[in-house]
Chain A
Amino acid sequence: MSAVVFDRVSKRYGAMTAVDNVSFEIAAGTLVTLLGPSGCGKTTTLRLIAGLEHANSGRILIGGIDVTALSPAERDVSMVFQSYALFPHLSVLDNVCYGLRSTHVPKRQAVEQAMARLDLVGLTGLEHRLPSELSGGQQQRVALARAMVLEPKVLLFDEPLSNLDARLRRRVRDDIRGLQQSLGLTVVYVTHDQSEALAISDRIIVMNNARIAQDSTPRALYETPADRFVVDFMGEASILPVQVTAVDGDIAQVRFGEATLSLPRRGLDIGEAELAIRPHTVHLSADSDGLRGTIRRAVYGGDHMEYDVTISGFEETVFVVDTNVAAPLASGRTVGVTFSPLGLSLLPAATPP
């Protein structure tokens, strides 16, 4: 059974629609990420699950129960806030016990359970500190323990790593994923950082303009993005106009300048289309294999080179990242351009605005 079901849910603030007719299901025991730029509706979606916002239309089910009209306290969910929202006047232990005491768990039992969670997140010995006496990473783990101690059906994370420095971010991310997998938790996770989403998720729901842009596994999202927005959002990519000349089953023959490529068809028909090219997929060589290109700009990046390349027959430049730092190619020279097929994806032609 799905742990969370969103059934045609909409949320409006006055004339502004924050979530527009969104439907999805989240399977129990999985970690699903809501990903998108700021203002895309991902946080509102999370708050709708939490019950901190109420939908204007549609139904929300948690554990098979319709919770659309219920208050946060009546739903079996917990949340880790972006600011952690630790109560500054309560000790670490009292913070973790707070939810248990709200539900009238006897004091001794509450303390026992809280200590078990604090142990789980590695904070034993700090339970009498005030939140202000902990480091950012420790505060993060208190917030996690506080949310987990209620053993909710669904655990919600609202950009939990945004207040941590870059090195700590990767460690806490792996900790969260580890706990989620070993305890079999259902987690809904909001972030705007695509690499964080790719690393942590079983499934990613990309949102844009209050709607779902794509809902798939991390790998499918990166390799077969649904549209230009998803391509752009999931990382650097150059987009060039191409022609689909023939289709055969799932394969399309694509004329790309002077070359012809065979690519997954992705529902396209013969005619105009676009090709998204990831920077790592392009190989430049000093001899003239493949297409002919000209280096327009070369930038040294430490462990890699960055090039802007124009391919003959196109005005647009293609952004290329090359790990060959030993023999860099000079700006202005002509090169041969070849591709590995994994980082190329066909997109429908952009509709003129």
Chain B
Amino acid sequence: MTWLALGWIGLLLLPWYAGAPLPRSAVLEAWDGRIWLWPLLLPMLLASSVRPRHQVIAGVLGIAWLVLESTLIGHKGWTIDVPAALGQPEQAPLGWGALAFALACGASLAQGLARLGYGGGQVFVTGSLLTIGGSILVFVFWPILTVLASAVRDDAGTFAPLLFLTKLTDPSIWGLGCLTGGHCGVAWNTVALAILVGAVTTLLGLAFALLAIRTAMPLKPLVRGLSLLPIITPPFVIGLALILLFGRAGMVTNFLASHAGIPRSRWIYGLWGISIAQVLAFTPVAFMILVGVLRGVSPSLEEASRTLRASSWRTFNTVTWPLMRPGLANAFLIGFVESLADFANPLVIGGNFNVLSTEIFFAVVGAAHDQGRAAVLALILLTFTLAAFAAQRSWLGRARYTTLTGKGDAGMHATLPRALTVLCVVGVVPWLLLTVAVYGTILVGGFVEQIGRDNTPTLRYFLTAFGVDHGVGGWFLSGSAWPSFLTTAKLSLIAMPITAALGVLTAYLLDRIRFRGRNIFEFATMMSFAIPGTVIGIGYILTFNVGPIQLTGTGAIIVAAFVFRNMPVGIRAGLASLSQIDRSLDEASLMLRAGPASTLGRVILPLLRPAIVAAMTYSFVRAMTAVSAVIFLVTGGYNLATVYIVGRADVGEYGIAIVYSAVLIVFMMLVLVTIDAVVGEARLGRRDVRTTEMPLVPS
């Protein structure tokens, strides 16, 4: 009933519109001539009924009418063609009153559905489903649909299928000129790059995984370090370092020019630079996938092969390799998709080699300012990505050999054939050297005058970016990087608990609750993972710039982007932990008279604490390093660290860009290590208490 009160407050007291000249409630606005607001009273009256069916109808009616009237009537009048007799009404975007009203309608719907027996009759379940489903509809599907819709319209907003076809088949997208010496279309560029990167990262990841797991080389510490690198590295950093190393004035270029007489060139800007940067960036991901795959191959199968007189080559060739093939396909597709979605490296090091993600960006912010073209490009990128994910699902669905069972499987993995070991080392060493060079450049480069040319140590860049001065009003942060750094940290901190809560709640619903429409729900929640950041970014500016929900220029839109981009990470962490928690614990709690909400709070959440901490950490770190989605959303008031760095690099201020990148990397490393220590400490601490306070006396 408190929800009903909230609905009435939303209609009678709170300002219905945001940014309207006078903050007035819906009823006053309706009285004043906005007669389309009157029907909103009806669902609230109906929701007072105690019959569940009425509550459902009230909720659906209220939300449906709210969506209809707010999308059909915009700030410049009707958004569709209507007979002139209907007049020219206009209205501002929705405000707090509308939010309260929508929540009340949702609550009524949740209550009604639960009382009709949906979701096991639990309001908690129906309410959670509606909350998560509704927010995904608004913040994932609506933006995507807006992109699709604006792709098939012209600038005036009318449906223009022919123009769409023209844009879709544009030679700048699909041209094959490079086969005859000219330039190829951006779609082919993107796919070629993605295939190259996918293949190379898979091979390198495999080589590394084989060395780490199947040889006696002391690589264990490297394994943990490698798994951390892609998480804490802002995506453009590697491109940036490559320019400093191999650019026209780069360190290696200088060295070769002065000592070996090799002329300077711009070879690094383009396909080569992007591929090297992406291979460096994404190989750790492939490595981690393949380590999992290799560990999953049951050693007893290999031992069986050896006892059947097979040589180590034959064993690798006929047992290990075939068992790994689905995992390799998976690693390739992940590399492929990561390359498709990567925005920052092509932006920094791409030169004239255009890919879809940067083309989308330039179509929006460039001189042409062609949102229609951006939407068409986004559509193509989205299609490629979803096709890759579909391929992954169908391949893995058909050919997954999980040979490890729950039973203890003793045995030793076969060692690698000698020739293969050598081959792996030959492949891995250059990669390792390059990685060390890249991170060394970033960490050191900001603290010398001009790396490679003038190696005098200096704190100049660091102080410019992160200076703290003493002025009239006491100490203040004078460095140019502080505002963007603090904004990023603040918004990431706000997004962190929301992401973790939505993710873990979703995981709980998916894993533990039986409800109709579960598959659709799972697809919808995982969807935002598959969508490239650039597509989400353009979707957000197209959707939340005008129309019923206006968020452009606020921190909220950036937080929303963080939350819905990173939510799948929380879901995965939650699902992985939940699968470790025996279902009978839930059942025992239910049998002991506790409802699902109480079970979640008293049993599941305490047991999920490590997963929640992990979800929060990753969401924070990923938010801090995000570029692609948010580069469209930053404004003067809300500049972000990554966007600031890309901007510095763009105008050639490499010193500040590098110093800032180094600070980000170190900062996030510290965050991860601290959290790891605190969580580890907590676990240890409890065990210590147990052993000291309660000695294990046999009873």
Interface residues of A (CB under 8 A from B): 50-52, 71-73, 77-79, 81-83, 85-89, 98-99, 102-103, 123, 125-126, 128-130, 133, 138, 146-147, 150
Within 8 Å CB of A133, what residues of B?
Answer: 690, 694, 696
Say yes or no: A102 contacts B598, CB within 8 Å.
Answer: yes
Q: Closest Cβ of chain B: how far from A11's Cβ, in Å?
A: 14
Measured CA separation A82–B588 after assembly (Å): 11
Say yes or no: B582 contacts A85, CB within 8 Å.
Answer: yes
Residue from the list A79, A123, A130 in contact with B588, Cβ < 8 A? A79
Given contacts A85-B582, A128-B694, A133-B690, contact A99 B592 (CB under 8 A): yes
Within 8 Å CB of B588, what residues of A?
Answer: 79, 81, 85-87, 146
Say yes or no: B593 contacts A83, CB within 8 Å.
Answer: no
Within 8 Å CB of A103, what residues of B?
Answer: 593
Measured CA separation A348–B308 after assembly (Å): 53
Interface residues of B in 570-616 (CB under 8 A from A): 582, 584-585, 587-595, 598, 602-603, 606-607
Say yes or no: B694 contacts A123, CB within 8 Å.
Answer: no
**Among all A-B residue pairs, the 3 with the closest Cβ atoms:** A99-B592, A85-B588, A85-B584
Q: Closest Cβ of chain B: how far from A155's Cβ, in Å?
A: 11
Say yes or no: B699 contacts A138, CB within 8 Å.
Answer: yes
Say yes or no: B593 contacts A102, CB within 8 Å.
Answer: yes
Within 8 Å CB of A85, what residues of B?
Answer: 582, 584-585, 587-588
**Residue in B closest to A143 when the chains form the complex, CB atoms:** B588
Say yes or no: B594 contacts A78, CB within 8 Å.
Answer: no
Measured CA separation A50–B593 after assembly (Å): 11
Which secondary structure dominates chain B's binding surface?
helix
Measured CA separation A98–B694 after assembly (Å): 22
Q: How many residues of B contact A (CB 8 A)?
A: 23
Measured CA separation A126–B587 after assembly (Å): 25
Say yes or no: A88 contacts B591, CB within 8 Å.
Answer: no
Q: Closest Cβ of chain A: how far from B692's Cβ, in Å?
A: 13
Within 8 Å CB of A79, what residues of B?
Answer: 587-588, 591
Q: Closest Cβ of chain A: how far from B679's Cβ, in Å?
A: 15
Q: Check if B120 is an interface residue, CB within 8 A of chain A.
A: yes
Within 8 Å CB of A78, what residues of B?
Answer: 591-592
Within 8 Å CB of B587, what residues of A?
Answer: 50, 52, 72, 79, 81, 85
Within 8 Å CB of A77, what residues of B?
Answer: 591
Within 8 Å CB of B582, what residues of A?
Answer: 83, 85
- What are the interface flags for B102-134 relative to A under an 8 Å C-beta threshold, 1 for contact and 0 otherwise? 000000000000000000110000000000000
Q: Closest Cβ of chain B: how far from A226's Cβ, in Å?
A: 33
Within 8 Å CB of B699, what residues of A?
Answer: 123, 125-126, 138
Within 8 Å CB of A130, what residues of B?
Answer: 690
Within 8 Å CB of A83, what residues of B?
Answer: 582, 584
Say yes or no: B593 contacts A99, CB within 8 Å.
Answer: yes
Given contacts A83-B584, A133-B690, contact A98 B592 (CB under 8 A): yes
**Residue in B closest to A73 when the chains form the complex, CB atoms:** B593
Q: Closest Cβ of chain A: how far from B117's Cβ, in Å?
A: 8
Given contacts A83-B582, A123-B699, A133-B696, contact A146 B690 (CB under 8 A): no
Measured CA separation A87–B591 after assembly (Å): 13
Say yes or no: B592 contacts A146, CB within 8 Å.
Answer: yes
Measured CA separation A205–B423 after assembly (Å): 66
What would be 13 A-B contacts, judged by CB atoms less than 8 Å apart?
A51-B591, A52-B587, A71-B120, A78-B592, A83-B582, A85-B582, A85-B584, A85-B585, A87-B585, A88-B607, A98-B602, A126-B699, A133-B690
Measured CA separation A33–B602 after assembly (Å): 33
Residue from the list B585, B591, B607, B690 in contact with A72, Cβ < 8 A? B591
Measured CA separation A73–B592 after assembly (Å): 7
Measured CA separation A79–B594 after assembly (Å): 14
Say yes or no: B603 contacts A87, CB within 8 Å.
Answer: yes
Interface residues of B in 650-699 (CB under 8 A from A): 690, 694, 696, 699
Within 8 Å CB of A138, what residues of B?
Answer: 699
Say yes or no: B696 contacts A81, CB within 8 Å.
Answer: no
Q: Closest Cβ of chain B: how far from A177's Cβ, in Å?
A: 22
Q: Closest Cβ of chain A: how far from B594's Cβ, in Å?
A: 4
Q: Closest Cβ of chain B: how far from A186's Cβ, in Å?
A: 16
Say yes or no: B590 contacts A72, CB within 8 Å.
Answer: yes
**Residue in B closest to A129 when the chains form the complex, CB atoms:** B694
Measured CA separation A125–B592 after assembly (Å): 24
Measured CA separation A89–B585 after assembly (Å): 11
Given contacts A71-B120, A123-B699, A130-B690, contact A102 B594 (CB under 8 A): yes
**Residue in A closest to B595 when the chains form the complex, CB atoms:** A73
Say yes or no: A71 contacts B694, CB within 8 Å.
Answer: no
Within 8 Å CB of A150, what residues of B?
Answer: 592-593
**Residue in A closest to B585 when the chains form the complex, CB atoms:** A85
**Residue in B closest to A96 when the chains form the complex, CB atoms:** B592
Contacts A78-B592, A79-B588, A79-B591 given; 20 further ones with Cβ under 8 A?
A51-B591, A52-B587, A71-B121, A71-B590, A72-B591, A73-B590, A73-B594, A73-B595, A78-B591, A81-B587, A83-B582, A85-B588, A87-B585, A87-B588, A87-B603, A98-B594, A99-B594, A125-B699, A146-B588, A147-B591
**Residue in B closest to A123 when the chains form the complex, CB atoms:** B699
Say yes or no: A81 contacts B590, CB within 8 Å.
Answer: no
Within 8 Å CB of A128, what residues of B?
Answer: 694
Q: Closest Cβ of chain B: how far from A182's Cβ, in Å?
A: 22
Say yes or no: A89 contacts B606, CB within 8 Å.
Answer: yes
- Among B582, B587, B592, B595, the one with the most A-chain Cβ atoms within 10 Å of its Cβ is B592
Within 8 Å CB of B598, what residues of A?
Answer: 102
Q: Closest Cβ of chain A: how far from B163's Cβ, in Å?
A: 50
Interface residues of B in 551-582 (CB under 8 A from A): 582
Q: Closest Cβ of chain A: how far from B347's Cβ, in Å?
A: 47
Measured CA separation A89–B589 after assembly (Å): 13
Measured CA separation A155–B699 after assembly (Å): 27
- What are the interface flags for B618-638 relative to A under an 8 Å C-beta threshold, 1 for contact and 0 otherwise? 000000000000000000000
Within 8 Å CB of B592, what residues of A?
Answer: 78, 98-99, 102, 146, 150
Q: Closest Cβ of chain A: how far from B518's Cβ, in Å?
A: 15
Measured CA separation A127–B594 after assembly (Å): 22
Measured CA separation A138–B590 after assembly (Å): 23
Measured CA separation A353–B607 after assembly (Å): 53
Measured CA separation A296–B690 after assembly (Å): 62
Residue from the list B584, B593, B694 in contact with A81, Cβ < 8 A? B584
Within 8 Å CB of B606, what residues of A?
Answer: 89
- Among A52, A82, A126, the one with the most B-chain Cβ atoms within 10 Å of its Cβ is A52
Measured CA separation A86–B607 after assembly (Å): 12
**Residue in A closest to B581 when the chains form the complex, CB atoms:** A88
Within 8 Å CB of B690, what residues of A?
Answer: 130, 133
**Residue in B closest to A132 when the chains form the complex, CB atoms:** B690
Measured CA separation A146–B593 after assembly (Å): 12
Within 8 Å CB of B593, what residues of A?
Answer: 73, 99, 102-103, 150
Measured CA separation A71–B587 after assembly (Å): 11
Within 8 Å CB of B696, what residues of A?
Answer: 133
Measured CA separation A87–B595 after assembly (Å): 16
- What are the interface flags for B73-111 relative to A under an 8 Å C-beta threshold, 1 for contact and 0 otherwise? 000000000000000000000000000000000000000
Measured CA separation A123–B591 after assembly (Å): 22
**Residue in A closest to B606 when the chains form the complex, CB atoms:** A89
Say yes or no: A52 contacts B590, CB within 8 Å.
Answer: yes
Within 8 Å CB of A86, what residues of B?
Answer: 588
**Residue in A closest to B598 when the chains form the complex, CB atoms:** A102
Within 8 Å CB of A102, what residues of B?
Answer: 589, 592-594, 598
